[in-house]
Amino acid sequence: MTKEDTVKLISAEGFEFVIDKEAAMVSQTIHNMLTSPGSFAETEHGEVTFPEISTTILEKICQYFYWHLQFASGKETEFTIEPELTLELMMAANYLHT
Amino acid sequence: MTVLRSRVVLPTKTTLKSSKTRISGIEPVTPTQTHEPSSILLPLPTTTNPSSSSPNKPTNSCPGNSGLGSDAVPVSGAIRRRSLRLASRVDSAEVANESLIFDRRREGEEGNYSVLGTYLVEEDKAGIDISKDIGAPSMSVELSGKMSLDSIGDTVRVLEVKDGKVLFVEDSDAEGGGNGPGLRQEVVQVNQVDVKSLDEDRSNFTGGGSRSKFKNAKGKRKMGIDVRLGTEYAGDEGSKRFLNLRSGKLISKIGTDTVVDKNEDLRKDDEYSRNNISAKRIRGIEIEGKGKGKLGKDDLLSNGEAVRLDVEFGIDNLMGDVVGVDSFQSISVRKMEEEDKREFGCSGELGVVTENLEQGPSGAENSTLKRRRFSREEKGKGALADTGGSLSTVSHAVELDLISKINGSGDYANSPANHLSINVALQDERQFRSTSTREGVSRRNEYMERFRDIARENASRFAHFSREEEAENDNHLSPDAEVDREIEDWPGPFSTAMKIIKDRTMKSSKKVCSSSGKSVPKPITWVPKKGQSNIPAKLLVPSLQELCIMILAKHVDAIASLESVPDALRNKLSQLLCDSRRMNNHFFELLVRGSPTEICLRDCSWLTEEQFVKSFQGCDTSNLAVLQLDQCGRCMPDYVLLDTIAQSSYRFPGLTNLSLTGACRLSDLGLGALVSSSPVLRSINLSQCSLLTYASINILSDSLGSLLRELYLDDCQSIDAMLSLPALKKLEHLEIFSVAGLETVCDQFIREYIIACGHNIKELVLRDCVKLTDSSLKVIAEQCSKLCALNLMNLCKLTDSSIGYLANGCRAIHTLTLRRNAFSDEAIAAFLETSGEFLSDLSLNNVKKVGRNTAISLSRHARRLHSLDLSWCRSLSDDAVGLIVDSCSSLMVLKLFGCTQITDVFLNGHSNSRIQILGLKMTSLLKCVKVPHPQEGPLHYSSLSCSI
C-alpha cells in the first residue's frame, strides 16, 4: 500500500486514522478536498484534520466508509450505531456529506 | 335479445308487402303523396301477438342484396305500422349492392291506423334509385337532392343522397296530414351513429340477427343498445362482426308541457375496411316528444318524437354499413345539418338500414306512462357493395335488428334525470355542430377522427353517469365551441405541431392497418437492453446520515437536546417522526426550546391544546422564520392562538413562512391576530382552514399587501372566490397562488384576477376547480408570461385548446401537473413538441388518452425532464415507456402507479440506471410525498432578501 493510496484523517484529539483513499472518497466532503484543483495541504499530503470531530466519532465514520464499500459491492450487512453516538455522528455525517 | 324491464313484449307478426317504386337518379323533389288520409285503408294482415316472445322476428324480410321491392309489408289492423325502407345501392359491380332499408312499423294504440311504407332507395352508379313502397295510401317521396317522404303524418326526407356519399334521411314528423287519432309524433334524432364493428378484421357479417338492449332505469334512463349486425359478404368466408350500438339515454317526460325526450346516443362505429378504414358514425339518437296526450284520446300532437338519424359515412374505401335506428313511431334519418353538405368522398358506400318499429300496442303505454313499453324492432338488411375496385364484388348484407323495450313505471316527467339527459342531448348536438361546422369540408380524415373523438367522449360519459358532470357540461359549451374555432383559425406552433402529429398518425395507421378497420398505430420500436437484465442496478447505499436519523427516530425519547443541530436535520427528523406517528410532546419541546429559527411539524394532530400552550408559551420566537404546524386543527382554536401569540404585538418579528393547514378551528379573528403579529410574512398556507372566509383575505391584503409572495387557500370551503377578489387583487406580488378545491372559483374569477395580477404569477394551482373551462386557460396563457408551474388536476372541462393556449402562451412552464384531464394524445404530444424542452416535472396521471404520440414526443423533446408521472396511463406499452426512459436522459423519477401493463421487459430492459421507478413494485410511498428540499430556500421562486 503506497502512500498515494491512503489518506490520513486526524481527529480533534489528534488521533490519526490512515485509511484507503477509496474509502475516504465515500465522503463527498473529503472527496472534494482531495480532488480539488490547486495545491491544498490536504491534496498534497493526503491528510485531513477534523478539529470538530471527536476520535470515537471519526473512528465510527471510518468504519462506515469501509462498510459502504462492502455494501456497494453487494455484501449487505447492517451497520450498527450505538445510540449514544448517534446525534453527534449525524452531525458529523452531515458535515462530511456521507 | 335482452329486454330490460319489459313487461310484455309485443311482437306483431306481420308480413310486409311492399310494392316497390323506383325512382331513379336524383330527381327533383316530387311531393307526390303527401298525405295519407286513411291509414285505415291498409290491409290488416296477420295477427299481432302482443305477448309474443319474438319481437325480433324479422317481420320484414328484406332480401339482402337488392332489397328492392321484394319486401312485402302487411300491416295488421290494430297495429299501425310504417315500414320505411331505404335501399340504396351503389353498384359498380353487379354483386355490389348496398341497400338502405328502413323498415318501420308502428303500432299505435288505436288499431285503425296503420301505415305501411317501404322506401327503397337504390343507388346506382349513375344515380340514385329510390323505390318506395307504401302500403299506406298516402305517402310522398321527394327525391332529388332532397327527398322527402311523407307518410302518415310523417315526413320523411332523404336529404342529399349523393352517390352514396351522404345519405340523409330525415323524418320530421311534422304531422302529416293524415295523423290518425291518437297519433303521436315522435322525433327521434340520431345525431350520429357510429357503427363500429368489433371485429374489424373480418369483413363479413354473418347472421342476420341484431340485438339491442335497452336499459331503462327509472330515475335515469339509459338506453344501451347493442346491436348486432349480421352481414353477409358474398366473397368472404363467414366471419362475424358485431355492431355495437350504444344508446345514451332515453328520457321521456309527459305532462302538458312535458317533453318526452328520448335521447339515444347510438354510437355505432363500424370501421370496416379491407383496404382502408371505413368509418361510419351514427351518433346519438334523440327522441324528443313533446306535448302530452292521453293515448286513449285522439291527440294528434300528443307526443312528438323525432328521430333523427345521422349517418355519416366517411370511408375511403368503404364497405358500407348498416345503421338501423328506430324510434317509437316515426323515424327520420337525417343528416344532422342540412346546411353543410358534407360529402364524404366514399366511392362506394352503401348503407342498409332497415328499421322496423314496433310499438307496443296498448295505448296505456304512452298515455299513462305507467308500464309503458316500447318494443322496437329494427331490422336492417342490406347488401353493401363497394365500388372501390378491390371489393367490388363483395356484397354486404347487414341485418340490424333492434328491439327496445321501455318499460317505465310512474312518470318520468319530474325526474331530474330527464333534464340532464336532455341537456346532454343538446350538448351532444351542439358539440356535433360546432365541430362539424368547424371542419367544413376540409378533410375527411380529420373529420372522421373528430367524430370518433366525440363519440369516445360521450362513451365515457355514458359509461359513468354523473348528473353533476352532465349538468355542468352543458353550461359552458358555447365558449368551448368558440374557443375551438379560434384555436383552429390561428396557426400557432401548437396547432402546427398538432397537425403534423395527426398527419403522422394517419400515415402510420394507413400503412399498418390492412385488414383491420381500426387504425392501429405503428408500434413503437424500442429494443430492451440485453445482457444486464439480471444484474441488479447499483445498490443504493444508505448514507450515514440516514442511518443516524433512523436510529435517532427510534430513540427519540432519549434525545436530550437538539441544540446546534442544523435546521435541515431537525426538519428531517421531525418529518420522519411525524410520518411514523412517533412525534410526541418531548420532541416538540426539544424543537421549541431555545430560540429556534424553524419549527416544522407536518402533523400536529397528536398535539393537544394544553401541550401546545405549555410548550409554546416559553418559546423564544424572536428568531423564528419558518413555522409549520400542519394538521393543527386540534390544538389551535382561536383562544389558544390568542393566548400564545397575542401576548405581544410583534410576537413573530421575523416570521416569513407560516403554514397552518387543517386549522379547522381557526377563524378570521385568530388569523387576524396572527397576521398582525407577523409583519414580514411572505408565505402563508391556510389550506383546509374551513372557517376562514373572505374577511381573512381582506386581513391579509390589508396588513401584508405587497409583501406576500405565496398564498395557499386549498379547500377553504368558506372562502368565496368572487367576494375575496378585490382583496386578492391587492396582493399584487403574489407568485404562488393556490386555490385548489375552491368550488367558487369560476372563469370570471380567474379572468379578473389574472388580468390584474397575472403578470407576477409563477405558480398556479387550480386543482379541482371544476368549473373552469378553456376560457380561463386562455386568459392565463395570455397574461401569465412568467408562469412556471401549473396544476390542472381534475379539470374535466378543459379541452385540447387549453393545452394549445399553454403551449403558445406560457413558454416558461417547467412543471405541469395534469390528472384526469380529457386532453388527447395528440394535444399533449403537440405541447411537448413546442414546450417539452423546458419541462422538468410532468404529471400525466390518469390522462387516459395518452399514448404513443405522447411517448414519441417525450422521447424527442423532454431532455430536461426530471420527474414524470405516467400513472394510470394504461395505453402505454412497455415499448413506449422504455423509449421514454431511455431517451429522457435527465429522468430520475418515474411514477407508474396502476400501470399493470408494464412488465419486466421494461423493468429489466431500460438503460437508465439512475431512475427511480415508483408504483410498480412495492415501494415506500412516503418517499414519494413531496417535501420541500431541505436546502431549498423558504420561498420557492424568490429569495427572502430580495423580497424583503
3-class SS string, B509-573: HHHHCCCCCCCCCCCCCCCCCCCCCCCCCCCCCCCHHHHHHHHHHHCHHHCCCCCCCCHHHHHHH
Residue A95 has which C-alpha cell? Answer: 458535515
The answer for residues whose C-beta is within 8 angstroms of residue A13's C-beta and 6 or more apart is: A54, A55
Q: What pLDDT is recorded for position B510?
A: 64
The answer to whether A61 contacts B539, with C-beta atoms less than 8 Å apart, is no
Q: Choose, out of B539, B540, B548, the residue to mutate when testing the contact with A (most A CBs < 10 Å).
A: B548
Of residues B538, B539, B548, nearest to A86 (C-beta):
B548
Q: What percent of chain B has a predicted confidence (pLDDT) above 70?
A: 44
- Cβ within 8 Å of residue B762, ≥6 positions away: B735, B736, B786, B787, B788, B789, B940, B941
A83 interfacial to chain B (CB closer than 8 Å): yes
Between these two residues, B788 and B429, which has the higher pLDDT value? B788
The mean pLDDT of B183-188, rounded to a whole number, is 36
CB contact under 8 A, A94 and B555: no
Interstrand relation of B99-103 and B16-17 (parallel, antiparallel or unpaired): unpaired
Q: Which of B177, B218, B142 is nearest to B412 (CA)?
A: B218
Helical packing angle, B416-439 and B477-489, nearest 10°: 10
CA atoms of B200 and B271, how far apart (whole Å): 6
Cβ neighbours of A90 in B, within 8 Å: 544-545, 548-549, 552, 565, 569
Query: Which has the closest alpha carbon to B208: B223, B188, B228?
Result: B228
Contact (CB<8Å) A81/B547: yes
pLDDT value for B490? 58
CB–CB contact B568 A94 (8 Å): yes
d(CA B418, CA B411): 11
Verify whether the Cβ–Cβ distance B564 to A74 is below 8 Å: no
Rounded Cα–Cα distance for residues B438 and B453 (Å): 15
pLDDT tens readout for residues B353-378: 333 333 333 333 333 333 333 333 33
Q: Is A68 on the interface with B (CB under 8 A)?
A: yes
| Chain B residues with beta carbon closer than 8 angstroms to that of A61 | 544
Q: State ipTM.
A: 0.94
DSSP states of B913-944 as a string?
Answer: TT-EEESSS---GGGGS----TTS-SSSSS-H
Q: What is the pLDDT of residues B468-497, one digit of tens each?
A: 444 444 444 444 444 444 444 556 778 888
Yes or no: say if B358 and B375 are a contact pair by the CB < 8 Å rule.
yes
Q: What backbone torsions phi and psi does residue B389 show, to the nearest 5 degrees?
A: -50, -40
**B543 to chain A: which residues are within 8 Å by CB?**
93, 98
Of A75 and B172, the structure prediction assigns the larger pLDDT to: A75
For A13-35, what is each residue's pLDDT tens digit? 999 999 999 999 999 999 888 88
Query: Which amino acid makes up residue B608?
Result: T
Using one digit for the tens of pLDDT, what is the confidence trace for B759-804? 999 999 999 999 999 999 999 999 999 999 999 999 999 999 999 9
Three-class SS state of B266: strand
Nearest CA in chain B to A77: B541
The residue type found at B111 is G
User: In Å, how far are B27, B89, B118, B175 from B24, measured between CA atoms?
Assistant: 7, 11, 16, 27
Confidence class of residue B922 from pLDDT cuts 50, 70 and 90? low
Please report which confidence band the pLDDT of residue B824 belongs to, taking 50, 70 and 90 as the band edges. Answer: very high
Distance of alpha carbon A3 from alpha carbon B286, whole angstroms: 89
Q: What are phi and psi of B232, to 5 degrees?
A: -120, 135
Average pLDDT of the residues of chain B: 62
Predicted local distance difference test score (pLDDT) of residue B375:
34
Residue B397: pLDDT above 80?
A: no
Could you tell me the CA-to-CA distances from B266 to A80, B109, B191, B665, B699 in Å, in that order?
69, 27, 8, 52, 55
What whole-number distance in Å separates Cα of residue B243 and Cα of residue B353? 13
Chain B residues at the A interface, defined by Cβ less than 8 Å, are 538-539, 541, 543-545, 547-549, 551-552, 554-555, 558-559, 564-566, 568-569
With CA atoms as reference, the chain A residue closest to B557 would be: A83
CA distances from B481 to B298, B432, B457, B746, B750 (A): 43, 10, 15, 18, 19
Residue B946 neighbours by CB distance under 10 Å: 7
Cβ of B555 and A81 within 8 Å?
Answer: no
* Contact between residue B701 and residue B670 where contact means Cβ atoms under 8 Å apart: no
B340 close to B360: Cβ distance less than 8 angstroms: no
Residues B661, B652: Cα–Cα separation, whole Å: 18
Judged by DSSP in three states, B458 sits in helix
CA dihedral B899, B905, B909, B913 (to 10 degrees): 40
Q: Which of B382-391, B439-448, B459-468 has the highest mean pLDDT?
A: B439-448
Least confident of B110-114, B421-425, B515-519, B540-544: B110-114
Say how far apart CA B807 and CA B213 lie, in whole Å.
44
Which of B538, B548, B555 lies nearest to residue A93, judging by beta carbons?
B548
Mean pLDDT of B548-566: 91
Interface test with B, best of A87, A89, A91, A96 (most B CBs within 10 A): A87
pLDDT at B7: 44
Please answer yes or no on whether A93 and B545 come within 8 Å at the CB atom.
Answer: yes
Alpha carbon distance B739, B658 (integer Å): 17
User: CA geometry: angle at A70 spanning A67 and A73, to 5°?
Assistant: 150
Number of Cβ pairs < 8 A linking chain A and chain B? 53
Closest B-chain CA to A85: B548
When CB atoms are compared, the residue of A71, A76, A81 closest to B551 is: A81
Segment B676-700 mean pLDDT: 93
Computed on alpha carbons and rounded to an integer, the radius of gyration of chain A in Å comes to: 13
Helices B774-783 & B477-489, crossing angle to 10 degrees? 50
The verdict on A34 touching B (C-beta cutoff 8 Å) is no
CA B228 to chain centre: 25
Q: What is the pLDDT of residue B198?
A: 36
Choose the closest CB to B565 out of A64, A72, A91. A91
**pLDDT at site B937:** 61
> What is the reported pLDDT for B735?
93
> Who among B544, B564, B566 is closest to A89 (CB)?
B544
CA distance B476 to B797: 9
